[in-house]
Amino acid sequence: MGKIAFVFSGQGAQYPGMGMELAQTSAAAAAVFAMADEIRPGTSEQCFSGSAEELKQTINTQPCVFCVDLAAAEALREQGIQPDMAAGFSLGEIPALTFSGKLPKEEAFRFVVERSKAMHLCGSEYPGTMFAVMGIGPEAVEGACSQVPGSYPVNYNGPLQTVVACTEEAATAFPAEVVKSGGKSIRLPVSGGFHSPMMKQARTALEESFSRLTILEGEIPVYANVTALPYGDIDLLFRQIDSPVLWHPTIMEMNRQGADTFIEVGPGKTLINMITKILPAAKVLSVENKETLRTTMEELKHAGR
């Protein structure tokens, strides 16, 4: 067995009741929710009892998913599992940095709370939407975007899937341009053009509010969305807000560095589904509740970890 990588879920994976079993099963997971409630009262209650409508609002989604991601990772560490490296998709990058020791827990959570507010405000002031484009490679998607002003490739998810952010004006013309390029597009249920120039104002606000935040050495490398390479300067945390997520290149680089087992920590299985398409031979596992924690531990024990 090669190296283990933890991958931390992003916004969009949330669902009602997430994290409750982890908090009931693991003292380390429960401590994450207790920390969050001290800073943002009611966070654990939103995770455990909030409606789907409540949880899909950016100002709630990001703090809640952060907690479930970190709780799942801490539950694994409590069982003696320490990864060799980590990465997180968009929001998931912040709990990844926290788990690795590169950001203090409380400061990281405060950052997420403010990030969610800043991005929500940006989405309100600069309305946009996003499309998942499938069936064509990233170069063809970039070509389609070049023909429609206000459209930006923002998530490089796999060889034949790229997500594009569009202004409201661009959203009308973009799908037809994708068809011309031989692909198909699906409009996503989001309220903003995340990871695009439409989020510039949010980045600026956070740079000003968290100018003293620094990246610590940490225990394991965390691969950055912006570069697909291990984290360096704190600037990457701010650049990530209005820059594309290089997920496919990130997974390929982690694999080149020896990762052949990927464990998604947090709600859902979106990331391991992507990884299966990128690296069909990789072993993929997930932890989001009591059952998946047990199953993952059994699989790792069987593999000699």
| Residues labelled catalytic | 90, 195
Nearest 10 degrees: Cα torsion 71, 72, 77, 79: 120
User: Is there a contact between 146 and 107 (Cβ–Cβ < 8 Å)?
Assistant: no
- Contacts of residue 11, defined as CB under 8 A and 6 or more positions apart, other chains included, come to 58, 61, 62, 65, 90, 91, 194
Structure tokens at 161: 């899937």
Count of Cβ atoms closer than 10 Å to residue 260 Cβ: 15
Closest CA to 228 of 280, 165, 155, 283: 155
Structure tokens at 89: 């998709």
Alpha helices in the chain (DSSP H): 20-25, 27-39, 43-49, 52-55, 58-78, 93-100, 105-125, 138-146, 168-180, 200-209, 235-239, 247-256, 270-278, 290-302
Strand 161-167 with 151-158, pairing = antiparallel
User: Is there a contact between 92 and 61 (Cβ–Cβ < 8 Å)?
Assistant: no
Cα distances (Å, whole numbers) of residue 37 to 63, 96, 191, 280: 10, 20, 26, 40
Is residue 300 classed exposed, middle or buried when 0-12, 13-18 and 19+ CB atoms within 10 A define those classes? buried
